[in-house]
Structure 1
C-alpha cells in the first residue's frame, strides 16, 4: 500500500538518518572496538571477531537500505540485528560502565533500552517491510521497481 507523499518523504528521511547512524556505528565498531568489547556479554564467543563482524553488518545494512532491490532484506536484517544487540545494551546498563569518562545513569540507560524497539520498527519502516502504524503492515518483500 502506498503512503501519502508526506509519509513517503518521512520514510525517505528516516531511511537516510538510519543509514547515517549505521554507517557511523559500523565505522566505530571497526576503528574503535574497545567500548563495544566492554559491553559485550561474557557468553558471546570471540568478542573481538563479533565486534568486527557487527561493524561490517552495520555498514552493509546501511548500504543495502539505499538499494531498492535490497531494501526489504536490509530492513529485516537491521531489525534482527537491533534485537540481537539488545543483551549488550542491557549489560551496559546493568554494569554502569564508564563511557567517555562519565558513569551513565539511569537517565541515559532507561531511554536507550526503551528506544530499542523503536529502532527495530525504524529499520522495518525504512526497509518498506511495514507501514504500520500508518497503513497496516506488509510481510512480503515489495516488488522491485524493475519487476525483478
Structure 2
C-alpha cells in the first residue's frame, strides 16, 4: 500500500527532526521540562526513535507498528512543546511566541496521520 500524504509528511518530519536531535541535541535542551531527567539522553533517544519510526512508516510490513509508535512518541513529546510555549511568554519575540504556540495544534494532524498509518 502506498503512503498517504499525511504519512509522507510525518515521515519527513520525523527524519528531519530525528537528524537534528542527533546532530544538534543542544537545540532541544531549552524546551525540556525540568521534571524530565537526563535531558541530553532523552533528546538522543527521541531522535533515534524518530528516525526508526520514519523508516518503519516507509515499510508496509512495519507501518502499523510504526504508526502506533509515532502516535505514542508525539503524545510523549507534547509536554516539551507545552513547555516551549509557556517559556515563550517570557520573551518579547512575537515570531518565537507564534512558532511556539503554533506547534501545539500541529500535533493533532500529525497524531491523526500516525493513527491512520497504524490502522491501514
Residues matched between the structures, number: 117
Specify every segment of 5 or more residues in structure 2 that has no aligned partner in the other structure, as ranges: none
Paired residue for 1:39?
Answer: 31
Higher relative contact order (CA 8 A, sep 6+): 2
Relative to the length of structure 2, the TM-score reads 0.87
Match of 1:17 in 2: 9
How large is the Cα RMSD of the aligned pairs?
2.1
Deviation at 1:97, TM superposition (A): 8.0
Offset from partner CA, 1:105-146 (integer Å, 9 cap, x none): 2x3233321221221111112x142xxxxxxxxxxxx6xxxx
Higher helix share: 2
How far did 1:14 drift?
Answer: 2.2
Offset from partner CA, 1:42-80 (integer Å, 9 cap, x none) = 111111000000000000000000111110110011001
- Runs of 4 or more above 6 Å deviation: none
The TM-score normalised by the length of structure 1 is 0.71
C-alpha contact 2:71 2:114 (8 A) present in aligned 1:
yes
- 1:1-148 correspondence runs (5 A): 12-96=4-88, 104-105=96-97, 107-125=98-116, 127-129=117-119
Give 1 or 2 for the bigger CA radius of gyration.
1
